[in-house]
Amino acid sequence: MHEKCPSCGQPYVIEPNFYYGAMYASYALAVALFVAVLVILTLIGHNEIEVLIPTYFIVLVILSPVLFRLSRSLWIHFFVKYDPECKAEK
């Protein structure tokens, strides 16, 4: 991971252990993913627990890298205001 954003120069590590809070965002995303898998399986007629749990874990393992990056991005956006006018100093 880069030390700073290549576009604006914002440091990614704001303070030590800053991204521990991203675990809460990751948990919320995992719950939303579980609900989505549950709804999709119910709509196609496979709402048995024997189908739901393995399907959810397979989807969760496949999407873990996406959820990891998305949760960190959500967490930093709670604390750092986006400025489209900002340009990185070179």
Q: What are the pLDDT digits (tens) for 12-48? A: 778 878 888 899 999 999 999 999 999 999 999 888 8
pTM: 0.75
The tally of domains found in the chain comes to 1
Q: Indicate whether 36 belongs to any domain.
A: yes
Q: Indicate whether 2 belongs to any domain.
A: no
Q: What are the pLDDT digits (tens) for 44-64? A: 988 889 999 999 999 999 999
Q: How many helices (H) and strands (E) does the chain have?
A: 2, 0
CB neighbours of residue 75 within 10 Å: 19
Q: Indicate whether 85 belongs to any domain.
A: no
Answer whether 71's CB lies under 8 Å from 21's CB: no
Q: Indicate whether 63 belongs to any domain.
A: yes
Q: Indicate whether 68 belongs to any domain.
A: yes
DSSP 36-74: HHHHHHHHTT---HHHHHHHHHHHHHHHHHHHHHHHHHH
Q: Indicate whether 6 belongs to any domain.
A: no
**Structural domain of residue 52, as residue ranges?**
20-79
